[in-house]
Each structure stands twice: as structure tokens, then as C-alpha cells.
Amino acid sequence: MRPLPSARKVAPVLFLPDLDAIQEAHARIKPFVHRTPLLTSRFLGEIHGARVYLKAESLQRGGSFKIRGALNALLLAQGRREIGPAGVLTYSSGNHGQAVALAAKILGCLATVLVPEDIAGVKRSAIEGYGGKVVLCGLTSEDRHRGALRLARETGAKIIPPYDDPDIIAGQGTASLEILEDLEEAHAVIVPVGGGGLIAGISIGVKAIRPSADVIAAEPEAANDLALSLAQGRRVSIPQPNTVADGLRALTPGELTFEAAKRHVKEVWCATDSEILAAQRTLLERAKLLVEPSGAVPAAAYVRHGAKLRGQNVVLLLSGGNADLPAGCI
């Protein structure tokens, strides 16, 4: 891991995980997670004359890639004896909360999850189904973060951050190892971005193993904090990230995740909410995959911008499948 300089004199030195940390995380979590398939999509490939592959993390335990980082962080915290009687605590729009609740159930400790007041019903039910305690807290990631800090002081619970943490990033990066084992000649990997933990881990892994491959970030137009931040060379906050992709409504990139994006991400492709919903429908109808809007953003971005990838092997990382179905839908 390489230290990052901190702008605040009293702040601790921050570290980005390296390939060794990702490989160690992969060995650590392997007994507990699914190795998700890398599927092909002729329909999406023919749109731009590319060969399109789908990394179906929507089929992962807990319904998303988040279990990778959560398990890595909890296993390491357990080994360091950092988890006490109050268990673990996190703040999440849903998927990370599910992952922490599931990881805590696997390891036999308590989990409390601060979630937005408008959390998707399917995500709240899953957190509670895994034994997690749900606490409603505001509408933004900032609201939940402040609430988690306050509750941790009161209870002594160990905070498991959703993305801006080296153990989380290393865990998320384990998907890159599987992608490149299954598709040695990957030319581009398109990854959805919320807080940035997934693209940080994926980009570190991909560029370490296959430096010639491009890592492309995919964001909703209404929550394009990474695109704005990279354009301005500093972390930019957006006031109201109002998008159907509820898992990607971060106000600003994390410190670590932004540093990883600056080093390794080629560019950011954005998509509108209507394009995201169209991609979600396409994935269901053509690939037979139920993917939540956040997970469909790479497909939407590819459809809009992917002409420049003609003739290439393109991986779309479908990050999650925790979608609320319409009433009466079977």
C-alpha cells in the first residue's frame, strides 16, 4: 500500500490497497462468496460492434458486490479484535447495509445499519432478514455518516464504512481478479460509481494485472460527482443527487476513491435516468438478468457512448440486483 498525503495536519495517513492486498482479500473471502459468472450479450455487442461481457454481481450473495468488501473488512476487524459486544455499525443506501448485516450474521456478531428514510423496501427487508437492526436517518449519505459517528460514540460499535476504506476497496477489487481470469484479453471494464469503492478496487486490480485495459466509470447524469471532480482536479460536492439509481447518490467521491480514480480511470461516461431504466429493461429482456437501476448504469453508459469501443472486449460490471418490482409483478 502507498501512503497518500493528507491535507489536514492532524489527519491520519491514508493508504490505497495494492494488488497484494486485493489477492489476500480474495483468498480471505473466497469461502463465503459466490464466484459470479461472466456472461456474454450478443444484443449489446451488436449495438456498437463490440464483444460485450456481463460480470453479474447481481447474482452475488446479498444481491450485490458489496458483500466482498464487507466480509473482508469484518474478517480483518475480527482478527484485530476490534469488534466488541455492540457489534458493527454502518451507514448505507441499502446494498452495503445488506452486505454488512449478512457478513455479521456469518461471523456471529450484531449489526446496526443507518439507512435513508426513503430506502427501497426490498433493501430494508433484506437487511432485517439477515438480522440487521435498521435505523432511519435522513435522506443523504452525509446525514447517515453523521448519525453513524454519533451512534458509534454512544454504543462502542465498530464502524464499517461503505466505500472510503482500504479494506473495503481491497474486497471490492476481488471482482477484478475473476474478470481477468475469465477474460484474459479484456480491453475495457465499465464500472458504476457511487462513493467509488468499487471502481477504486477494480481499477487498482485491472491496471496492475493488465495495464493496457481501460477502466471507465459510469455515473447517472444527475449524480455526476466523480465526473465533475476529475474535470476540476479536486473533490466536488453536488447538492442533490436525485436519480433513479439510488445506490449511486453520493454527494462527493471519497478521499481514497478519488485518488484511485485520478490514477487509474480513463474517463467517466454518464447516462440519463431514462437511459438507465431502458438498460435495466434490456438486461431483463435480453440477458434474463434482474438488475437494479444502479447496476444497469454501465449498460446505459455503454449504449450511449460505446461506439469508440468497436471491435473490443468490453466488460460491464452489473453491480447489484436488489430491485423493487412493481406491485403485482411476478
* Distance between CA atoms of residues 204 and 32, nearest Å: 23
262 is known as an active-site residue: no
SS3 94: coil
* Distance between CA atoms of residues 271 and 73, nearest Å: 31
- 68 CB burial (10 A radius; 0-12, 13-18, 19+): buried
DSSP string spanning 217-265? EEEEGGG-HHHHHHHHTS----S----S-GGG--SS--HHHHHHHHHHE
Picking from 291, 283, 249, 286, the residue whose alpha carbon sits closest to that of residue 118 is: 249
DSSP 119: -
Answer left, alpha or beta for residue 47, where phi above 0 means left and psi between -120 and 50 means alpha: alpha
Encode burial over 155-191: b for 16+ CB neighbours within 10 A, e otherwise.
eebbbbbbbbbbbbbbbbbbbbbbbbeebeebbbbbb
Number of Cβ within 10 Å of residue 208's Cβ equals 18
* Distance between CA atoms of residues 54 and 315, nearest Å: 6
The residue from 55, 66, 123, 207 that is catalytic is 66
Paired with 318 in beta bridges are: 56
Amino acid at 265: V
Task: At 70, list the grid cell.
Answer: 464487507
The residue from 41, 58, 64, 93 that is catalytic is 93
93 is known as an active-site residue: yes
Active site amino acids = 66, 93
